[in-house]
Structure 1
Amino acid sequence: MSNTSGALYILSAPSGAGKTSLVKALLAQDSQICVSVSHTTRTIRDGEQDGVDYNFVAQKDFALLVGQQQMLEYATVFENSYGTSRQWVESSLAQGKDVILEIDWQGRDQVLDIFPQAIAITILPPSQQALQHRLQGRGTDSNAVIAKRMAEAHSEISHYSGSHFLVINDDFQHALADLQCIFTSRRLKTPQQTHNHDQLLQELLSTGG
């Protein structure tokens, strides 16, 4: 049985911290969780699917959504706009789904202004050396790009205190268990458990034999 409503989770992390892999593993073991698909104005790339990787929209349509306050958060990166649909998030939460937003600290703060009940989580690497090693291990970026990502990572890490939970991704399975604990603990709160076990509670409180 589902909860009265789902919870909104914001996951932020520097590039290379392992956030994407952790979320993928979390989704594989927990059917109650879904991930928001961002809207973007950038051109679709080979291998990408509209509605799966991103919701690809024209700039004028994106601007209209922003003007109608339909975006929970949005930002412009390299002349392309990205944002999270407020309607989709609210609809998913109403269906009892726990929703994950994978956004940076700036988007996190935007969302918390609108959804102060959202749960913000920062995922960090165990060291700068480990982070650099992971970025180099991808084999897709030049040294210049890696240096830029390391600088961006430092900026992202410096805002960790704006989150409610901090997960260190040193051992992957340990970090995954920590992440799952955050989701589980919320579901065990009294309001959710009261809804989920209403019949049991009535029976336990019954004065009949």
Structure 2
Amino acid sequence: MPQGLLMVLSGPSGCGKGTVCDLLRQRNPNLTYSISATTRKPRPGEQDGVNYRFFTREQFKRQIKEDGFLEWAEVYGNLYGTPRTWVEEKLAAGKNVLLEIDTQGAMQVKASYPAGILLFLLPPNMEELRRRIDGRGTEGAEEKERRLQAARQEIAQIRNYDYLVVNDEVQQAVLRIEAILLAEQGRISRYSEQELKVLLGG
């Protein structure tokens, strides 16, 4: 059985990552969405192992020492990470794994798992990004400006990614990502010699 593919999706706040990921999961039963570990407190309605894997800070730091995370970062005083063993087990079982993480985490994944596919999601232009952030209506001017500044910093990392996907329309963005996934699955370099022998009747 060919190993599954590890796909990383990043993009600035307001680019529609969550919506795109939800639709990808609905349309692709073989695409598994990684559940992050975190030290932050559960919010009302959140369940351990469903929304996040909730760790104490001590548990999380122990996992860091034991190389238990494919990537991890501290965000606003809370630790977030992708459990390495879970991802490796899914890939070995032939499942494709999707990580929705920021550029900092994506660069860690690229360093530790070079076979991973890095995709960067963008709205059509910066004006549209600003409009989407403004359209949330739940944040003050200072928070909006902070998000725009963070977006510029993330976009500056775009040349470290394998693919750029423009999210001008959600369905089209999902189709583009599915086309990338299909093409990557067909790469000969992803097949072992044994798998090729079986396919070629050797």
Give yes or no for TM over 0.5.
yes
CA distance in 2, matches of 1:118, 1:171: 25
Q: Give runs of aligned pairs for residues 1-209 of structure 1, distance below 5 A.
A: 3-190=1-188, 195=195, 198=198, 202=201
CA distance in 1, matches of 2:195, 2:17: 31
Give secondary structure in 1 for the equivalent of 2:9.
strand
- Greater Cα offset, 141-150 or 182-191: 182-191
CA distance in 2, matches of 1:146, 1:49: 29
- Greater Cα offset, 84-93 or 125-134: 125-134
Matched letter for residue 137 of structure 1: G
Percent identical: 37
Superposition deviation, residue 137 in structure 1: 2.1
Superposition deviation, residue 153 in structure 1: 0.5
Superposition deviation, residue 23 in structure 1: 0.9
CA 1:141–1:195 in 2, change beyond 3 Å: closer, same or farther?
Answer: farther
Deviations 1:68-114, CA, capped at 9 Å, x for gaps: 01111111111111111000000010111111111111111111111
What is the TM-score when the length of structure 2 is the normalising length? 0.92
Superposition deviation, residue 139 in structure 1: 2.5
Q: Which sections of structure 1, spanning at least 5 residues, go unmatched?
A: none
Q: Which sections of structure 2, spanning at least 5 residues, go unmatched?
A: none
CA distance in 1, matches of 2:2, 2:126: 41
Superposition deviation, residue 16 in structure 1: 0.5
Matched letter for residue 77 of structure 1: V
CA distance in 2, matches of 1:186, 1:56: 33
Superposition deviation, residue 63 in structure 1: 0.5
Superposition deviation, residue 143 in structure 1: 2.2
What is the TM-score when the length of structure 1 is the normalising length? 0.89
